[in-house]
Amino acid sequence: MSAASLPTSSPRSDDQIPLLAVRDLVISYGNILAVKGISFDVYEGEIVTLIGANGAGKSTTLRGISGLVPYSGDIWYQGQSLRRVPADQIVGRGIAQVPEGRGIFGNLTVLENLKLATWQRKDKGAIADDYERVFKIFPRLQERQSQLSGTLSGGEQQMLAVGRALMSRAKMMLLDEPSMGLAPVLVRDIFQVVQEINRQGTTVLLVEQNANMALRVASRAYVLETGTITLAGTGEELLKDPRVREAYLGG
């Protein structure tokens, strides 16, 4: 299928081709069907969020996009199928994932963690500019760049995980539960960072249990329930939807 004929699950008036198009995605863990044939789009410049309860299939969907789990259906990025693309090449094409639990290397320094994200890059001259960008967004990381990452606070580790993804110069960032385990004041900080990264040109697909904050920053959103998309709309629309309010926003 060519990019020109790529179907869209959420048509737009300008017929723009999605940056990311997920089609009939099915993912199983043994006999457990975790994702049941979902389809959705993410357009360049958006923040799109997937919300839902634990076990809804949100994180599994991100793992499928990143090439970390086998699936049926198809995933298209920039008009090209990722169906048989290895995970390391998916990163090289411009998709970076910040995993749930952060996934930093605690025995390495902050700077060494950031440097790991540049291993595929050929534009060595621009790497220094990206360090500067990351440290501008996260001044605390600059202050702690020689500190072992395992000694950072939870909020600082989350900043490092996001900063590391930025160092890959990804066009799209997959964020998996960035607010998990953080104090409320740090949750606000993280969502402000997500918005700033988006303003700087990175498209974001966000998985988040904090539905209130996620919908407030989202261009569009999808609700997942037991592996199926049950609702879709703009972040503002879903914030006002009584079904979402009752199930995820405390009424």
* Distant-in-sequence, close-in-space partners of 62: CB < 8 Å, separation ≥ 6: 97, 174, 176, 205, 207
In a domain, 185, yes or no: no
Evaluate if pTM is beyond 0.95: no
In a domain, 191, yes or no: no
In a domain, 5, yes or no: yes
In a domain, 28, yes or no: yes
What is the residue type of 126?
A: A
10 Å Cβ neighbour count for 226? 14
pLDDT in tens, 189-201: 889 989 999 999 9
- 1: which 2 tokens? 């299928």
10 Å Cβ neighbour count for 146? 9
In a domain, 71, yes or no: yes
In a domain, 9, yes or no: yes
Domains contained in the chain, number: 1
pLDDT in tens, 153-176: 988 998 899 899 888 888 999 999
Asked if residue 241 lies in contact with residue 248, where contact means CB atoms within 8 angstroms, the answer is no
Task: Give dist(CA 175, CA 73) in Å, integer.
Answer: 22
Q: What range does the domain containing 247 cover?
A: 1-87+209-251
CATH number for the domain that contains residue 59: 3.40.50.300
pLDDT in tens, 55-110: 999 999 999 999 999 999 999 999 999 999 999 899 889 999 988 877 889 999 99
Asked if residue 90 lies in contact with residue 168, where contact means CB atoms within 8 angstroms, the answer is no
In a domain, 39, yes or no: yes
In a domain, 123, yes or no: no
